[in-house]
């Protein structure tokens, strides 16, 4: 698979009513599996919906595989598969008929759509239940049926909106295995929107974090993992903490505070732990805990929530 | 991607033409409605009157059969002449069967997709809202055509064939009235029933709403006209407006004094406004997601 951008956001803005939801998003996403993270109301689903053409862009635009979503919406949608977050199916239909209809709507000839519907349902693990009506399925099975309909026409880009929502641990594992498997074929790019950091960490190689309709962070998890950068996590009590933080920063330390009295920092060359203790002692700050840690997605997410900076390459704490 | 391999593969085969994809919806819907024996029985009954019409036209032109049935031709021609009234009565009756058909099929067309959040699945594909509405509309249009203008025109041409001598050319107005009138009624009724199906999720309530539009509103219109001694009330009644249009298309009187006062343009205006309102309601509702402002 080439490294050409999958999605290019070019100052994308979306207003729903008079409310701005997405505020000038600009980024070039090129991962095989891109995680879309953010707290509730950050604009994740609105971004997916805008890329799907459900909401018009108020300003700017986006390109998917080089195609403009505003002028080539139909061609863009022909290359996409979408698994919505909420329950979505067609009532009164067996799974195979439902998935076949979705395949036909995507442009597959009737016979091929039937063939692919069977294949997709076997692939997601609903082979034995494919002649049952979808409304009789359990929640986990409905999620799988939604995945099957998103795959039936063999898209190049798959949008998965909270695919593990409401699943028990076994079903969740099965879903994540499928996502891994689809990703590893190298035939399809995946955009995985989730509020579960573990899901994104397990499946994705890039992550885009949104906050209040803006891009808080966009980074390559693979690079982060390879860099395997260690950092220090401090927990402090008492004393003049703001002055301590300022003094540490003055040493040229990259740092971020996460929660009250928790500080994460990467020490530059020439600065040691002893310097931290000295600065703390001068300001009567107690260092209660000091750990070496590796960057995790949770750290990236927490920092993004605190700093709210625009994308500036991949380097961050 | 094969059942036994259980792996994912992209589809790289040929695709169907984009313009034809809205026809997939009626194909699936026909199978659903024709699976119902009650509906098939009803559809069969809808062909009884056209068949009776066919028999009548045949008898008018077959002296041997009339003699066999001991029916004098003059009496038959006096009692039931094959003229504009004959076709108008037939097509008006079939139009009410259309209403029953819409009552039975219509409420289940859009409501289940909205109830089960199915619209994002359609609209995330290369398939527009217009194609979706057109596809759903085709379900009704095709079934209604089957019992209105198609048998109507077949009877018209059959009569022309048997009568000969330029009957077809002399009565071209009847043929066009069957075609234009049927299509007008089909469009009005299809759009109204789709709009109701889009806004009312519960089938019985959707049916009651349809009855209100086509029975209660005309009753209210009559009451309004009687109270105010006017014809303006008819602007609320799609079925009355259609009766006026039928009469005008066939070149006949509507048959009711007050209805004859209703200008033809007002009847067409009522039908047009009904369609526009239904389209507006559909455009408000047929969306991938509801936007809460």
pLDDT in tens, A274-283: 888 999 899 8
Q: Of 3.90.660.10, 3.40.50.300, 3.40.50.1370, 3.90.1150.10, which CATH number belongs to A7-222?
A: 3.40.50.300
A230-294 has which fold?
A: Alpha-Beta Plaits (3.30.70)
Residue A201: pLDDT band (50, 70, 90) is confident
Q: Is the dihedral of CA A254, A256, A260, A263 positive or negative?
A: negative
Longest dimension (CA), chain B: 77
**What is d(CA A279, CA A240) in angstroms, rounded to the nearest whole number?**
11
A119 min Cα distance to partner chain B (Å): 5
Helix (H, G, I), strand (E, B) or coil at A262: strand
SS3 for B172-241 is HHHHHHHHHHHHHHHHHHHHHHHHHHHHCCCHHHHHHHHHHHHHHHHHHHHHHHHHHCCCHHHHHCHHHH
Residue A191: pLDDT band (50, 70, 90) is very high
pLDDT at A292: 78
Could you say which of A97, A119, A151 has the minimum Cβ distance to residue B3? A119
pLDDT at A313 over 50: no
Which whole number is the average pLDDT over B212-225? 92
Exposed / middle / buried, residue A264 (Cβ in 10 Å: 0-12, 13-18, 19+): buried
Helix (H, G, I), strand (E, B) or coil at A231: strand
If contacts are CB pairs under 8 Å, which of residues 48-77 in chain A contact chain B?
Answer: 49, 52-55, 74-75, 77
Q: Provide the token pair at A140.
A: 């986990």
Q: Is the dihedral of CA A34, A39, A40, A42 positive or negative?
A: negative
Per-domain residue ranges of chain B: 20-285
**What is d(CA B291, CA A303) in angstroms, rounded to the nearest whole number?**
31
pLDDT at B5 over 70: no
Chain A CB contacts of B287 below 8 Å: 54
Say yes or no: A185 contacts chain B, CB-CB below 8 A.
Answer: yes
Say yes or no: A114 contacts chain B, CB-CB below 8 A.
Answer: no
**What is d(CA A88, CA A135) in angstroms, rounded to the nearest whole number?**
10
Residues B203-218 as b/e (b if ≥16 CB within 10 A, e otherwise) read: eeebbebbeebbeebb
Give how far Cα A3 sits from Cα of A6, A187, B149, Å.
8, 13, 59
Is the Cβ pair A74, B24 closer than 8 Å? no
pLDDT in tens, B98-150: 999 999 999 999 999 999 999 999 999 999 999 999 999 999 999 999 999 99
Exposed / middle / buried, residue A280 (Cβ in 10 Å: 0-12, 13-18, 19+): buried
Quickly count helices (H) and strands (E) in chain A. Answer: 11, 14
Could you say which of B6, B11, B124 has the minimum Cβ distance to residue A122? B6
Chain B CB contacts of A185 below 8 Å: 7-9
Q: Provide the token pair at B67.
A: 């003699």
pLDDT at A309: 45
pLDDT at A17: 83
pLDDT at B41: 96
**What is d(CA B190, CA B197) in angstroms, rounded to the nearest whole number?**
10
Residue A91: pLDDT band (50, 70, 90) is confident
B83 min Cα distance to partner chain A (Å): 46
Share of chain A above pLDDT 90, in %: 51
pLDDT at B95: 93
A93 min Cα distance to partner chain B (Å): 10
If contacts are CB pairs under 8 Å, which of residues 83-122 in chain B contact chain A?
Answer: 112-113, 115-118, 120-122
Task: For chain A, give the mean pLDDT.
Answer: 87
Residues A159-170 as b/e (b if ≥16 CB within 10 A, e otherwise) read: bbbbbbbebeee
Closest CA to B27 of A82, A63, A113, A150: A113
**What is d(CA A124, CA B290) in angstroms, rounded to the nearest whole number?**
30
pLDDT in tens, A131-157: 999 999 999 999 999 999 999 999 999
**What is d(CA A170, CA A155) in angstroms, rounded to the nearest whole number?**
27
pLDDT at A3 over 90: no
Residues A34-49 as b/e (b if ≥16 CB within 10 A, e otherwise) read: bbbbbeeebbbbbbbb
Per-domain residue ranges of chain A: 7-222, 230-294
What value of ipTM does the predicted structure carry? 0.87
SS3 for A237-261 is ECCCHHHHHHHHHHCCCEEEECCCC
Exposed / middle / buried, residue B170 (Cβ in 10 Å: 0-12, 13-18, 19+): exposed
B285 min Cα distance to partner chain A (Å): 13
Quick one: DSSP state of residue A9?
E
Helix (H) or strand (E) run with residue B87 in it: helix B84-105
Exposed / middle / buried, residue B237 (Cβ in 10 Å: 0-12, 13-18, 19+): buried
């Amino acid at each position: 698979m080439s490294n050409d951008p999958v999605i290019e956001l070019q100052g994308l803005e979306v207003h729903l009513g008079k409310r701005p939801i997405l505020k000038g998003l600009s980024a070039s996403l090129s991962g095989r599996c891109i995680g879309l993270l953010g707290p509730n109301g950050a604009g994740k689903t609105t971004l997916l919906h805008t890329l799907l053409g459900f909401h018009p862009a108020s300003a700017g635009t986006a390109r998917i595989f080089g195609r403009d979503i505003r002028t080539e919406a139909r061609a863009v949608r022909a290359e996409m598969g979408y698994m919505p977050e909420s329950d979505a199916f067609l009532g009164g239909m067996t799974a195979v008929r439902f998935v076949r209809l979705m395949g036909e709507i995507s442009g597959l000839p009737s016979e091929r759509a039937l063939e692919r519907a069977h294949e997709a349902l076997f692939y997601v693990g609903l082979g034995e239940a494919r002649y049952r009506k979808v409304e009789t399925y359990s929640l986990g099975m409905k999620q799988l049926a939604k995945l099957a309909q998103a795959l039936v026409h063999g898209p190049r880009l798959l949008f998965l909106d909270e695919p593990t929502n409401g699943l028990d641990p076994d079903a969740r594992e099965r879903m994540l295995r499928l996502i891994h498997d689809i990703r590893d074929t190298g035939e399809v790019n995946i955009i995985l929107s989730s509020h579960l950091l573990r899901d994104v960490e397990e499946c994705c190689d890039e992550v885009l974090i949104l906050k209040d309709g803006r891009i808080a962070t966009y980074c390559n998890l693979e690079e982060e993992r390879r860099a395997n950068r260690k950092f220090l996590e401090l927990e402090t009590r008492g004393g003049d903490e703001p002055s301590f933080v300022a003094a540490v920063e003055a040493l040229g330390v990259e740092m971020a505070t996460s929660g009250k009295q928790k500080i994460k920092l990467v020490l530059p060359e020439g600065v040691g732990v002893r310097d931290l203790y000295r600065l703390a002692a001068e300001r009567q700050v107690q260092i209660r805990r000091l750990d070496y840690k590796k960057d995790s997605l949770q750290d990236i997410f927490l920092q993004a929530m605190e700093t709210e900076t625009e994308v500036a390459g991949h380097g961050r704490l | 991607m094969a059942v036994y391999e259980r792996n994912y593969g992209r589809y790289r085969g040929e695709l169907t033409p984009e313009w034809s994809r809205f026809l997939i919806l009626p194909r699936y819907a026909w199978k659903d409605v024709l699976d119902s024996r009650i509906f098939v029985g009803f559809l069969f009954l809808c062909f009884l009157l056209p068949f009776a019409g066919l028999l009548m036209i045949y008898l008018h032109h077959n002296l041997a059969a009339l003699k066999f049935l001991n029916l004098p031709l003059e009496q038959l021609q006096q009692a039931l002449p094959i003229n504009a009234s004959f076709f108008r009565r037939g097509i008006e009756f079939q139009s009410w069967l259309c209403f029953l058909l819409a009552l039975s099929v219509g409420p289940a067309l859009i409501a289940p997709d909205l109830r089960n959040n199915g619209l994002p699945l359609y609209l995330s594909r290369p398939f527009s809202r217009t194609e979706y509405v057109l596809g759903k509309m085709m379900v009704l249009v095709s079934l209604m055509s089957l019992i209105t203008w198609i048998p109507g025109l077949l009877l018209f041409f059959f009569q022309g064939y048997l009568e000969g001598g330029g009957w077809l050319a002399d009565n071209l107005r009847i043929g066009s009235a069957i075609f234009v009138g049927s299509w007008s009624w089909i469009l009005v009724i299809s759009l109204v029933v789709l709009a109701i199906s889009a806004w009312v999720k519960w089938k019985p309530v959707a049916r009651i709403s349809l009855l209100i539009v086509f029975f209660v509103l005309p009753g209210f219109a009559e009451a309004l006209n009687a109270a105010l001694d006017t014809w303006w009330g008819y602007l609320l009644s799609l079925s009355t407006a259609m009766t006026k249009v039928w009469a005008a298309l066939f070149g006949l009187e509507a048959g009711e004094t007050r209805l004859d006062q209703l200008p033809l343009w007002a009847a067409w205006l009522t039908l047009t406004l009904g369609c526009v309102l239904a389209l507006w309601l559909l455009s408000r509702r047929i969306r991938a997601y509801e936007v809460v402002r």
